[in-house]
Amino acid sequence: MKTDSTGIEELPIYESLVRERGDVVQEARVVSEETHDQVTQALNGVAPVDRAPSA
């Protein structure tokens, strides 16, 4: 068995799980980036932007 790293696009089981359950890794990446941006803005004294739609 080879031990070199394999890209996600080369893992059929990963593709199957993404189809079944959604791309949790991508979703976590997006939330992480949004959180990072919010923290950066907060530390710089910028008021947060309400992203939730108003009812």
pLDDT of 40 reads: 94
pLDDT of 48 reads: 64
- Residues with Cβ within 8 Å of residue 15, at least 6 apart in sequence: 9
pLDDT for residue 6 is more than 60: no
pLDDT for residue 5 is more than 70: no
10-44: pLDDT as tens digits:
778 888 888 898 999 899 999 999 999 999 999 99
pLDDT of 1 reads: 42
Say whether pTM exceeds 0.85. Answer: no
Q: Is 14 exposed, middle or buried (0-12, 13-18, 19+ CB in 10 A)?
A: middle
